[in-house]
Amino acid sequence: MKKLNKRRLKYGANNTVLIVGAIVIFVLVNLLAAALSEKFPATRIDLTENGLYEIGKATKDVLSELDEGDNDVTVYYMRDSGEKDSYVNEVILKYVAASKKLKYEDVFYIKDPGFVNRFTDIENVSEHSLIIENASNGRHRMISYIDMFEISSDASTGQRYPSAAVLESRLTNALAYVISQEETVVCFTTDHGEPSPSEMVNVLAGENITAAQFSLKMADVPDQCQMLYIISPVDDFLPEEIDRLDDYLDRGGSVQIAVEPYFELPRLEAYLAEWGVSLGDNVVAEGNPNYSTQNPNNGLDVIFPQVVESGLTKDVVSKNVPVFATLCRSVSFKQDNLGAITEKTVFYTTKQGMAYELLYDENGETNGMGEGVQGVYDLAVYLEKTVGEDYDKTARLLVAGSSSFWGVTQYAEVADMTGFLRESSIGNNSFFVGSSYEMIGLNSTKLTIEGKSLSSTRLIMTESQQKMYRMIFCFALPVAIILAGIIIWLRRRHL
């Protein structure tokens, strides 16, 4: 009996040692694999269906250019006190694995405010943001966490959610910017009550376009400004500002103007009339229910205008996404004796469009709207004019009757449009970026990387398949494990 107990004790101790040893080895292997994958990112394998963590050829080409040039580029990950975002970290490690020179560092920006303060043009740094800096030339770019994703809206609830990851596009464009020797600059006018263009600036930054605010009251439009945006001014322009605007266009400049209803700008409108453009003193609605809806939050009419395909709108047409507009006024063009100007309609209503003339009281204050007049109404037009002493330059002018095309507005009822230009379910982003590239003349250099869907894929099984897997996992497999245990016990019970 003692001999039997000793034998059982011996086998029991051996089994315990083997089990503990196997667990220790398993843990050590996992820790070693994790350490090696951090040190050697190339060993990390992306098993997602759409290659969520992989980088494409366009990115690898930019990284090759980075390695070949005189560059000292670092990606700084902004951290507070929490863990890194696993997706963002994995993608950056893929970049590091594909480059010989690219560096990657963490910055605890709350504890080290001096780091962020040295970038005087960077504001609103938040956790998981990235700052990309090239120490060789001093160029830098920030990518906020929210800009790493495309946002969509639920049609039934109106709630917004991240639908696609665009981190690769943002990061690759940022790297291309910091290693480039050239810079594309656009300007936004100030001093006329224009709303903040921060959302537009963020989108342009993701496209390697630098935006600056500029006052026409102070000076001429600088030569390096390749586009001038006049978006939803409240106050009229001074005569000298009109002269500077005209001079800029005569030099072959490009201008985008959005003027909303209810704001009277007689000098600016008189200048547009010299181009043959008239802005209606009205509010336009769309009577066709297939191309309009009502905002559930404020009851305002939303128009999904008809789109004329051109270089400005080709991305909208190719993606087949509707453009959003609200609180529009009509825009019309009369050729008359302006033969040097060519005009194209960009957006318009259907035949069921309605224009409601604004009414005013004796003090000049708006006092409601008149009866609607049905018809087709243009909402945005694009014009080109040959200019210059030798007529070798082209002035470009885009005029719209609503700033909502650009995701900004003066009206409190629809003022909360944060993230609007990141909405992938509507075409305003495609129009904004596409029209900017077309009018600046950057189509040939645009670096486009498509986003990667974040939607989960459902596994659809037939009823017979469900029954089969239910039998396997709920009956056959448990029974097989129990039988195996019984057989092992019977064979070893005398040991």
Measured N-to-C along each axis, helices 167-179 and 57-68 cross at an angle, to the nearest 10 degrees, of 20
pLDDT averaged per 10 residues in sequence order, the chain, 495 residues: 54 60 68 60 55 83 93 94 88 93 94 89 88 92 88 66 84 90 90 89 85 92 94 95 96 95 92 94 93 72 92 90 90 79 94 91 79 94 89 92 87 60 79 92 64 63 72 78 76 63
Per-residue pLDDT, 445: 46
Task: Look up the pTM and report it.
Answer: 0.71
Write down the H helix ranges in 301-442.
Answer: 314-319, 428-440
- Distance, in Å, from the CA atom of 261 to the CA atom of 50, rounded to the nearest integer, reads 45
pLDDT of residue 455: 67
Judged by DSSP in three states, 176 sits in: helix
Q: What is the pLDDT of residue 95?
A: 94
The Cα-based distances of 122 to 75, 117, 202, 260 in angstroms read 15, 8, 11, 31
- Letter for the amino acid at 286? E
Structure confidence at residue 52 (pLDDT): 76
Distance CA 250, CA 245 (A): 9
Find out whether 401 and 284 touch, Cβ atoms under 8 Å.
yes
CA distance 494 to 55: 60
The region, left, alpha or beta by phi > 0 then psi within -120 to 50, assigned to residue 309 is: beta
The answer to whether 92 touches 77, Cβ cutoff 8 Å, is yes
